[in-house]
Amino acid sequence: MTQKARISKLEASLTAKQKLYSWLKHAKLSGGLIPYWRKELTGLMLPLEWLTDEEARFLWHLVIDANVEILRCMHANDELWRVVHLALDGVVRQIARPDSSGIFVPVRPIPELAAHVGRYLCATFQGIWEETLCLQAAMEKISQAYLEGEDILFADSRGVMDTATANFHDTAYMCGAIARWLNLEGVTFAAEAFSSQHPLVQAKVTRLANLSRVEALRCTATRGQLIQAIKGACPDLAHA
């Protein structure tokens, strides 16, 4: 038996889910989701026979959708973060001065305009920070809940998220200090606040899973199955 025949026989013995894991492993060798699709779109685009399995097709869509979500959100948040970070630095210089040991302490009274700007920027950054932590936790939950702990992120998605998290940590430290100086109650920038059980994390996982389920069912489901999947992905349509 030739090497090619042995490989074909081995592949034939794998379940659709095992073939998905094999595809993911090899797809990651492309260096990222974008390079992978660039290669696929300019190559032969050989069919993936195991995608005829509904569950494997759903998981394939989920992996792709999760990576796209990371790339889309992180790039958008990165631009906003840069502006917010620079503005926060300006606020710090308006409302605080370094003491004899070089530690910034608030001036009293804090200028009213600077305080207003600081509150707005803290609220804006809190939204970016929560989205980032929520995405990070959601990816881990998807990996554990649907793919037996398999790392679902391609290199470019992982790199974008890790870079954003590191950058945002520095801003969170600065923003946390401003929040304390301005006595902003209920504002927290603790990374530990977002566990896999957090409602926002669960909501994001559910949304991604439902959207992927719709995509997986689009070509094979009955009209009723597709409608139910769409309603699950879009709660606003639940009572339509």
What is the per-residue pLDDT for 32?
Answer: 92
Q: Which tens digit of pLDDT belongs to each residue from 139-187?
A: 999 999 999 999 999 999 999 999 888 888 888 888 888 888 888 876 6
What is the per-residue pLDDT for 231?
Answer: 53
Q: Which tens digit of pLDDT belongs to each residue from 23-74?
A: 899 899 999 999 988 887 776 555 667 777 888 889 999 999 999 999 988 8
Distance set, CA 52 to CA 15, 21, 102, 184, 208 (Å): 12, 15, 64, 53, 21
221: phi then psi, degrees, rounded to nearest 5: -80, 160
Q: Which two tokens stand for residue 29?
A: 């060798």
With residue 235 as reference, give the H or E element that holds it.
Answer: none
Q: Do the Cβ atoms of 113 and 136 come closer than 8 Å?
A: no
Q: Confidence band (pLDDT; 50, 70, 90) for 8?
A: low
Q: Which two tokens stand for residue 50?
A: 């195991």
Q: Which two tokens stand for residue 75?
A: 């790039």
Ordered by start, the domain boundaries in the chain are 16-29+53-194
What is the per-residue pLDDT for 233?
Answer: 47
Q: Do the Cβ atoms of 27 and 18 come closer than 8 Å?
A: no
* Cα–Cα distance measured from residue 225 to residue 238, given in angstroms and rounded to the nearest whole number: 13
Residue with tokens 């948040």: 77
* Cα–Cα distance measured from residue 62 to residue 173, given in angstroms and rounded to the nearest whole number: 33
Report the amino acid identity of residue 226. L
**DSSP-derived 3-state class of residue 26:** helix
* Cα–Cα distance measured from residue 86 to residue 63, given in angstroms and rounded to the nearest whole number: 35
* Cα–Cα distance measured from residue 137 to residue 153, given in angstroms and rounded to the nearest whole number: 13
Question: Could you tell me if residue 43 is left (phi over 0), alpha (psi between -120 and 50 degrees) or otherwise beta?
Answer: beta
Q: How far apart are the first and last CA of the chain?
A: 58
Q: For 102-221, where are the E strands, in sequence order?
A: 104-106
Q: Which tens digit of pLDDT belongs to each residue from 179-236?
A: 888 888 766 776 667 777 888 899 999 989 988 888 887 766 454 554 555 455 455 4
Q: Which tens digit of pLDDT belongs to each residue from 119-133?
A: 999 999 988 888 888
